[in-house]
């Protein structure tokens, strides 16, 4: 049990990574469900959704493994974080696009995927802001 009150706790990179993983798992379950996702769409549409969710995780993981000791490290980390943010936007764009093509993609599915994606975007934005404050001496 933590000694810090819940209202005073900050989110962690691990939480960002966990939410991104949850998104990827939900996408995978959806794609592999024959009732919800026809096999004929699996390669093109399913693959692009799943690969995008995996790139979100990859960017978060890469950023988390860079420990800024100088401005170069900071900007490399920031670049990975921003790539993950871009992949989130791309995922939402794919979701909207494929909702017109796949009648099996219900409102409930879209809401679940978009809620998780938006949560990842919020956590990434907060992480970027936190890094800017934490490592501001590296930028001077």
51-105 pLDDT tens trace: 999 999 999 999 999 999 999 999 999 999 999 999 999 999 999 999 998 888 8
The pTM assigned to this predicted structure is: 0.88
Q: Residue 10 — φ and ψ, nearest 5°?
A: -95, 155
Hey, what long-range contacts does 87-93 have (CB within 8 A, 24 or more apart)? 87/52, 87/55, 87/56, 87/59, 88/56, 88/117, 88/118, 88/120, 88/121, 88/124, 89/121, 90/52, 91/23, 91/49, 91/52, 91/53, 91/56, 91/117, 92/117, 92/118
Residue 66: C-alpha distances to residues 8, 73, 117, 129 (Å): 26, 7, 23, 16
pLDDT over threshold 50, residue 133: yes
What number is the average pLDDT over the span 103-116?
94
pLDDT over threshold 70, residue 119: yes
Structural domains in the chain? 11-139 (1.20.1440.60)
pLDDT over threshold 70, residue 8: no
pLDDT of residue 1: 47
* CA angle (17, 94, 120) in 5-degree steps: 20
pLDDT of residue 38: 83
How much of the chain, in percent, has pLDDT values that exceed 70? Answer: 90
């Amino acid at each position: 049990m933590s000694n810090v009150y819940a209202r005073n706790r900050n989110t962690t990179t691990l939480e960002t990574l966990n939410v991104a993983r949850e998104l990827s798992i939900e996408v995978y379950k959806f794609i592999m469900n024959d009732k919800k996702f026809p096999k004929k769409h699996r390669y093109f549409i399913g693959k692009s959704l799943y690969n995008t969710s995996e790139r979100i995780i990859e960017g978060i993981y890469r950023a988390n493994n860079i420990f800024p000791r100088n401005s170069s490290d900071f900007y490399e980390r920031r670049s990975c974080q921003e790539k993950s943010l871009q992949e989130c936007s791309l995922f939402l764009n794919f979701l909207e696009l494929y909702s017109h093509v796949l009648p099996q993609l219900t409102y409930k599915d879209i809401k679940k995927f978009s809620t998780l994606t938006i949560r990842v975007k919020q956590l990434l934005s907060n992480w970027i802001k936190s890094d800017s404050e934490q490592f501001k001496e590296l930028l001077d």
